[in-house]
């Protein structure tokens, strides 16, 4: 139960291994759906296709013999919209409520836009259920173009679509910020400006509860979650420290990274996070790169460019609008290192990126002159 009138009817998916076909989710996923019970009844969003029967049973369990008057569709991604058609079959008199673009997407999925029983809503429109009056907030590109959020002025609840979502089923015992951060930067991170716009709208509302489409209902210390979203979407620095991201073929670049990490710790760097891009989760590496304001990229020259995992990593960053960061570079090559030049070039279109004056260039194995370069880089990045 969210409030006396708002019930949770979502489901946990413990069978999924990859969310959106790419993000590892060892603790599964939650597909959230809510019912507001008043003089009229509204259901907010459906669930993934494999859970239609369970979801409809959940609705039946909270409504008994009553039937929904509305299905509000905030987001048309299939993990939330797959059962719209099934809902319409179970409750043929219910009206579908969504944005204009939402209905266009419905036609793409179901070959119907429910023109005979629909309400098209836009920014500022309202829907009265009795005591509960729902206001709709346009949230385009958070993270699809059709997205709307819904505010219930009676219980002061923001139904935030994919905003404030996280990986993990609701019965998972894990830190919210870690999996919410990985979710945000993996899925929403490119659209920081759009998230900022929605946060400005939310600032004008009295919000006591946030109901996202993934992850737990947020009822306490909302300032904590709002502050994190503001930091993430403004590309700010969340944690003071240095993130080191590397690839190493024969262990020599790894050795240089280990020396650098020790130098930083000795110099009093508050946090040093080291990631092996070939072995560690790429999505976690991306979230860490956005978490820290200073990073080191260390890799080998490979096929005249850079090692594939590093290339993928930098592409993951730049396509998400990576900015406002200071970067140090380490390169290795047996005869002609070009990795630093290649990495630097990949950030040419990124905003507010600065590079350290010191670049560590290793020819095959770490030597005394490299150790001096590493010490200089540690001093500069930590300064």
The distance in angstroms from the start CA to the end CA of the chain is 50
- Among candidates 74, 79, 78, which has minimal Cα distance to 28? 79
**Residues whose CB falls within 8 Å of the CB of residue 153, separated by 6 or more in sequence, listed in order:** 132, 133, 134, 135
Average pLDDT, the chain: 96
Burial 215-236 (b: 16+ CB within 10 A, else e): bbbbeeebeebbebbebbbebe
Start-end of H helices in the chain: 52-63, 78-81, 84-90, 100-110, 176-183, 192-202, 222-233, 252-266, 282-291, 308-318, 339-346, 368-381
- pLDDT tens digits, one per residue of 300-335: 998 989 999 999 999 999 999 999 999 999 999 988
The three-point CA angle 358-244-331 to 5° equals: 45
**Mean pLDDT score, 230-257:** 96
Pairing state between β 148-152 and 157-159 = antiparallel
Model pTM score: 0.92
Q: Rounded mean pLDDT of 63-91?
A: 96
What pLDDT is attached to residue 383? 78
Q: How far is CA 358 from CA 36, 174, 280, 373, in A?
A: 59, 39, 27, 7
Contacts of residue 368, defined as CB under 8 A and 6 or more positions apart, other chains included, come to: none
> Residue 337 above 90 pLDDT?
no
Residue 335 confidence (pLDDT)? 82
Q: Among 255, 253, 293, which Cα is nearest to 273's?
A: 293
Residues 6+ apart with CB under 8 A from 248: 254, 255, 257, 276, 278, 298, 300, 332
pLDDT digit string, tens, across residues 100-120: 999 999 999 999 999 999 999
Taking residue 29's Cβ as centre, other Cβ atoms within 10 Å add up to 27
pLDDT of residue 105: 96
**Which residues are CB-contacts of 81 (< 8 A; sequence separation ≥ 6)?**
45, 46, 73, 75, 105, 106, 109
Alpha carbons 193 and 60: distance in angstroms, whole number: 40
CA distance 210 to 149: 11
Average pLDDT of the residues in 66-84: 97
Q: What is the CATH number of domain 239-381?
A: 3.40.50.360
What pLDDT shows up at residue 1? 87
Q: What are the φ/ψ torsions at residue 353 (nearest 5 degrees)?
A: -105, 130
Is CATH 3.60.15.10 the classification given to domain 6-233? yes
**Residues in a beta bridge with 95:** 70
Tell the burial category of 380 from Cβ atoms under 10 Å away from its Cβ (0-12, 13-18, 19+). middle
Q: Is the pLDDT of residue 234 over 90?
A: yes
> Rounded CA gap, 179 and 329, in Å?
28
CA distance 263 to 268: 9
Percentage with pLDDT > 90 across the chain: 97
pLDDT tier at 336, thresholds 50, 70, 90: confident
* Model confidence pLDDT, tens digit, residues 344-353: 999 999 999 9
Please name the residues in contact with 375: beta carbons below 8 A apart, sequence gap of 6 or more. 263
Calpha distance 99→210 (Å, rounded): 21
CB 116 within 8 A of CB 122: no
User: Which tens digits make up the pLDDT trace of 158-217?
Assistant: 999 999 999 999 999 899 999 999 999 999 999 999 999 999 999 999 999 999 999 999
- Domain positions in the chain are 6-233, 239-381
pLDDT at 85: 94
Non-local CB neighbours of 313 within 8 Å, separated by 6+ positions: 245, 277, 282, 285, 286, 289
Interval 271-293: pLDDT, tens: 999 999 999 999 999 999 999 99
Contact 308, 301 (CB under 8 A): no
* Rounded mean pLDDT, 205-234: 97
Segment 241-265 mean pLDDT? 96
- Confidence (pLDDT) at 154: 98
Mean pLDDT, residues 248-266 taken together: 96
In 3D space, the residue among 221, 112, 117 whose CA is nearest the CA of residue 164 turns out to be 221
CA 308 to chain CA mean position, Å:
24
The SS3 of residue 225 is helix
């Amino acid at each position: 139960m969210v409030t006396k009138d708002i019930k949770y009817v979502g489901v946990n998916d413990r069978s999924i291994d990859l969310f959106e076909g790419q993000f590892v989710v060892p603790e599964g996923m939650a597909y959230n759906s809510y019912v507001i019970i008043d003089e009229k009844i509204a259901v907010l969003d459906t669930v993934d296709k494999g859970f239609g029967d369970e979801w409809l049973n959940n609705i039946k369990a909270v409504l008994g013999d009553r039937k929904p008057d509305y299905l509000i569709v905030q987001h048309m991604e299939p993990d939330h919209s797959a059962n719209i058609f099934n809902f319409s079959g179970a409750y043929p008199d219910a009206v579908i409520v969504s944005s204009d673009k939402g209905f266009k997407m419905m036609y793409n999925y179901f070959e119907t836009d429910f023109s005979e029983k629909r309400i098209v809503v836009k920014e500022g429109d309202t829907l009265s259920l009795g005591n509960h009056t729902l206001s709709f907030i346009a949230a385009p590109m958070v993270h699809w173009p059709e997205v709307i959020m819904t505010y219930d002025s009676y219980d002061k609840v923001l139904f935030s679509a994919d905003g404030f979502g996280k990986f993990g089923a609701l019965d998972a015992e894990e830190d919210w910020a870690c999996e919410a951060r990985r979710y945000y930067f993996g899925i929403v991170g490119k659209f920081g400006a759009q998230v900022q716009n929605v946060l400005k709208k939310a600032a004008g509302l009295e919000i006591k509860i946030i109901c996202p489409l993934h992850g737990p209902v947020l009822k306490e210390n909302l300032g904590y979650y709002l502050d994190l979203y503001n930091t993430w979407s403004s590309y700010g620095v969340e944690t003071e420290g240095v993130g080191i991201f590397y690839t190493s073929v024969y262990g020599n670049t790894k050795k240089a990274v280990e020396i650098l990490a020790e130098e930083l710790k000795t110099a009093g760097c508050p946090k040093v996070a080291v990631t092996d891009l070939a072995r560690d989760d790429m999505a976690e590496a991306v979230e860490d790169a956005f978490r820290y304001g200073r990073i080191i990229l260390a890799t080998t020259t490979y096929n005249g460019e850079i090692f594939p995992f590093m290339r993928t990593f930098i592409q993951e960053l730049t396509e998400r609008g990576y900015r406002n960061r200071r970067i140090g570079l380490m390169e290795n090559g047996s005869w002609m290192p070009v990795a630093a030049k290649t990495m630097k070039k990949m950030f040419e279109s990124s905003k507010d990126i600065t590079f350290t004056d010191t670049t560590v260039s290793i020819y095959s194995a770490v030597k005394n002159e490299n150790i001096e370069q590493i010490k200089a880089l540690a001093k500069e990045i930590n300064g």
